[in-house]
Structure 1
Amino acid sequence: MKHLFLSPHLDDAAISCGDYIDNLVRTGHAVTVMTVFTGSAERLSMLARIIHKKFRLRDEEVMDVRLQEDRSACTLLGADTIHLGLPECLYRFDEKGGPTYRKLNELFETDPSREPAASKEIISSLGDIDFTQYDLIYIPLGVGRHIDHLLVREAVELVASTSFPLSKLMYYRDLPYLDYGTDPNWRSELAKGMEEVCIMLPSLSLRKKLAAIERYRSQLRMLWPSRFRMLRQIAAQARSFKDVHIHIEGKYGFPLYIRTQRAVITVNH
């Protein structure tokens, strides 16, 4: 089977689903990670410059380094990569030429309807993709309400309504935003009308995921205060999901979300 993971940014799929991707590849499936926002900035807002300093990278090298990190991580996981080259929220500007986002909190407090131009651009880029070649397509739920994650979800759902069966869509939880605890209503709002499915993964896939995350060195500094905190948080998250109906020694549960019209998941593990 062929699987496509839509990743808003260069790291999202690996952080959220790296262990699941590893297990798919180990069991003979073909995986592609398609990252939407991989474009370089033509000019930078003050917020973008501040974030770049947290990466400890020069402005002109940020995207080249991040692309290299992504290729390295996906190669480790055994996944192919596609980069769509659109500008992420830090690099977008409004009709008047000002930065769309001036403060970090705005990235998590903006409704996608306020970015029609970005939405249109994503949909246009996705229109060039032959989704029919993939058996299952994975997209973020949008936990944490990051504007780019919500835009990607809505765009894929819109394309799916005319290009491929909605039954192909599977939703993953957005890490590390889930662990921040800032979105307590995500189940009732973002996963409304969906069924939670537990996929059992071996502990070796968790180790591979952790190794893949470490390939994103620039992002580790932004998302976690230390390497130890990253390792502890990701490992704790893997142990936190419990399915009362399933317990297999040496394995842990990985949750995915599907629309309730779909009765079963068709991936063998």
Structure 2
Amino acid sequence: MPERPSPAPLVRRTTHTLQADDRPIRLPHTEFDGAGVRFLGEPVDPALFPSSAAELWHACDGTRPYRSWPSQERELIAGWHTAGLVVAAPRPRPQPARSLTVLSPHPDDAQLALGALLARFGGRVVDVFSHETWTRRPHYRSRPALASRLLLAEEHVACGVLGAELTVLGHTDAADRAAWRDGYFLGPQAVDAARATEPELFERVTADLAAEVTGGGPVLVPLAVGGHVDHVLTRQAALQLIARKWLEPERVAFYEDMPYSLFADATAEAGRLAVGPERGTPAPVLIPASEAAVRTKQEALWPYRLQVLEAVSKRIVRHGRQLGTPGWAERLWVLPESAHAFGELAAEAAEEASAAAG
């Protein structure tokens, strides 16, 4: 019996419609097998994606505003957006508002934690353990090479939505490293095991990150809430750069790893750190966001179909509303040396969010 095509591949996490200046970006999970179109391995209804529309779909690369297509093609693109085959990047900013560098243990970590901040200020995402094969989806579990390619492709689309640059370091994810075959989450008292278990890897990561944090801009480091070994290694490498005086503590803030911060204690994790010459403990600073920035974060999370559950993304957005009551916010943990710089960033973000709401 032939497979019955799904009327729509999925349900959108956000229900907003495409705006005239939005730039549609196709998702990489679409396959053309000669007999039809598949998305995430499932057949797509020909009414949603006629065979004649392949050229139009390929043209959705984030460079053209939605308004630039004829009305019939706009109707098709709007259907793809509603169904989840494309996402919408807002009008590009003239230039990055700040030279932020976000150290992301894996593809998706920076966006899950700081998508709204990146939507507002731009910057650069540095993916450390970017060679991954793990996925929740059986269709891709048996195709690890394809899964690895798509996981990186998802990251490129998300950065395109946020207007962020991307650097990929190419280290292998802990799930594919023999040292952590029995589990890669560390307890609060076992963080030194990350470095001791893989000392050569730690030194390579530290050297790679030293090359990525040159310059004078802010550097955002994972707090390693939840104890994932790759998050711990990324954080400890940044702390090593501070100890070696290759990274100034006044440039550094820590961000709450998502979704781990939803069920682990970020305050306790921050309290265990003593960083810089003053041995200061990080203190929380809320970075408010406008509804437009929240919308852009939601769009940027949608491409992550192989690992991130829809329910997790929704919880992260709800968490931001709880943090920012009555508005919306993401939370950083800043050192005494960096409190002024990140306080200014928070004030700038708050001013924009307030102006947008008013």
- Pair 1:6-2:103 in alignment: yes
Q: Which residue of 1 aligns with 2:233?
A: 151
Checking the alignment, whether the CA contact within 8 Å between 2:103 and 2:221 is kept in structure 1 is yes
The structural deviation recorded for 1:117 is: 2.3
Residue type of the partner of 2:300? A
- The answer on 1:107 being equivalent to 2:185 is yes
Does the 8 A contact of 1:5 with 1:34 survive in 2?
yes
C-alpha displacement of 1:52? 4.1
* 1:168-188 C-alpha deviation (Å, 9 max, x unpaired): 011100000111347783243
CA displacement at 1:240 relative to structure 2: 1.9
Identity %: 23
Q: Equivalent residue for 1:84?
A: 169
Tell me the amino acid that sits aligned with residue 126 of structure 1. Answer: L
Whole-angstrom distance in 1 between the partners of 2:147 and 2:281: 39
User: Could you tell me which of 116, 120, 130 is aligned with 1:38?
Assistant: 130
1:177-208 CA-partner distances (Å, limit 9, x unpaired): 11134778324325871121122211221121
Partner of 2:336: 260
Per-residue deviation at 1:54? 4.0
SS in structure 1 of the partner of residue 129 of structure 2: coil
Query: Could you say which residue in structure 2 is the equivalent of 1:202?
Result: 290
**1:140 pairs with 2:219:** no
1: CA distance, partners of 2:137 / 2:233: 25
Deviation at 1:114? Answer: 2.6
TM-score, length of structure 2 as denominator length: 0.60
CA-CA distance at 1:20 after TM superposition: 1.0
More off after superposition, 258-267 vs 65-74: 258-267
- Cα distance change of structure 1 residues 157 and 56 upon mapping to structure 2, 3 Å threshold: farther
Distance 1:55 1:117, change over 3 A: farther
Deviation at 1:134, TM superposition (A): 4.2
Q: What's the Cα RMSD here?
A: 2.4
| Counterpart for residue 317 of structure 2 | 235
**Aligned counterpart for 1:64 among listed residues 134, 149, 166:** 149
Determine the C-alpha separation between the residues in 2 that align with 1:257 and 1:55. 38
**Distance (Å, rounded) in 1 between the aligned partners of 2:247 and 2:261:** 29
What CA deviation, in whole Å up to 9, does each residue of 1:220-269 have, x standing for no partner?
A: 2xxx3xx2x23430221101215xxxx7x6x3232211112334224233
Q: For residue 34 of structure 1, what is the amino acid of its counterpart?
A: V
Q: Deviations over 1:122-175 (max 9, x none)?
A: 01222333x233410101000001100010011012123322311101110000
Contact 2:126 2:166 in 1 (8 A): yes
- Checking the alignment, whether the CA contact within 8 Å between 2:251 and 2:338 is kept in structure 1 is no
Q: TM-score, normalised by structure 1?
A: 0.79
Task: Summarize the alignment of residues 14-29 of structure 1 with structure 2, pairs less than 5 Å apart.
Answer: 14-25=111-122
Contact 1:3 1:32 in 2 (8 A): yes
SS in 2 for 1:205: helix
Larger radius of gyration: 2
Partner of residue 118 from structure 1, selected from 201, 222, 232: 201
CA distance in 2, matches of 1:241, 1:37: 29
2:252·2:338 contact (CA, 8 Å) conserved in 1?
no
Q: Measure, in 2, the Cα distance between the counterparts of 1:79 and 1:200.
A: 19
Structure 1 gap ranges (5+): 26-30, 41-47, 93-98
The DSSP-based 3-state class of the residue aligned with 2:172 is coil
Per the alignment, in what secondary structure is the counterpart of residue 68 of structure 1?
helix
- Letter matched to residue 253 of structure 2: M
Counterpart Cα distance in 1 of 2:176 and 2:319:
31
Rounded Cα–Cα distance in structure 2 between residues aligned with 1:36 and 1:107: 17
Contact 1:210 / 1:234 at 8 angstroms: preserved in 2? no
Aligned mate of 2:281, from 190, 193, 212 = 193
